[in-house]
Amino acid sequence: MHVTVGDPAPEIALPDQDGNQWRLSDHRGSPVVVYFYPKADTPGCTNQACDVRDHWADLAAHGAAVAGISPDPVERLARFASKHGLPHRLLADPERTVIEAYGAWGEKRRGGEVRLGVIRSSVVIDAEGRVAAALPGISPAEQSSAALAVLRDL
């Protein structure tokens, strides 16, 4: 990942599933969990988003804002959030500006084939806007548990 623990987190300013602008800087004073996923409503990405949904009470107990980022358009994110009852923001980054700034774009190997794509990963940002943890290559089912472990230590 391109982010380093202790460094200021790159700004995020992207539309959410409702078309509203979501900015990382608007969440200063609270921790933020940002996760990156390849494509809404595919099996692994659904597991990842639903893992956040299923751990929502624990994440909220730590005061954390949560945003999932993919290159999907806003309309697809809206359908995905509605279909699965997702309580958190999903952000559209079709130009991959934020995805690349966080180092969540790169080579992926699957079935002996190498291709470029979104690297499933998470970043925990502290209340001051600094990277508290970078979790590249995270398993969809382990994402919330890993983020919660970091949030407990903040």
Over the chain (154 residues), the average pLDDT of each successive run of 10 is 93 98 97 96 89 95 97 97 97 97 90 90 97 91 92 94
**Check whether domain 13-153 has CATH 3.40.30.10, yes or no:** yes
Kindly report the number of other CB atoms within 10 A of residue 57's CB atom: 8
18 with 80: CB under 8 angstroms? no
The predicted pLDDT at position 137 comes to 83
> What is the signed CA dihedral for 122, 128, 130, 133, rounded to 10 degrees?
-40
The predicted pLDDT at position 2 comes to 86
Burial class of residue 107, CB neighbours in 10 A (0-12, 13-18, 19+)? exposed
The predicted pLDDT at position 70 comes to 97
Burial class of residue 50, CB neighbours in 10 A (0-12, 13-18, 19+)? middle
The predicted pLDDT at position 116 comes to 93
The predicted pLDDT at position 16 comes to 98
In the 8-state DSSP scheme, what is residue 9? P
Helix, strand and coil percent figures for the chain, each rounded to 5:
30, 30, 40
Kindly report the number of other CB atoms within 10 A of residue 122's CB atom: 28
Angle formed by the axes of helices 43-54 and 143-153, to 10°?
40
Amino acid at 25: S
- Selected catalytic residue, list 40, 45, 134, 148: 45
The predicted pLDDT at position 110 comes to 76
The predicted pLDDT at position 120 comes to 92
The predicted pLDDT at position 123 comes to 97
Is 45 considered catalytic here? Answer: yes
C-alpha 151/C-alpha 59 separation (Å) is 8
The predicted pLDDT at position 76 comes to 97
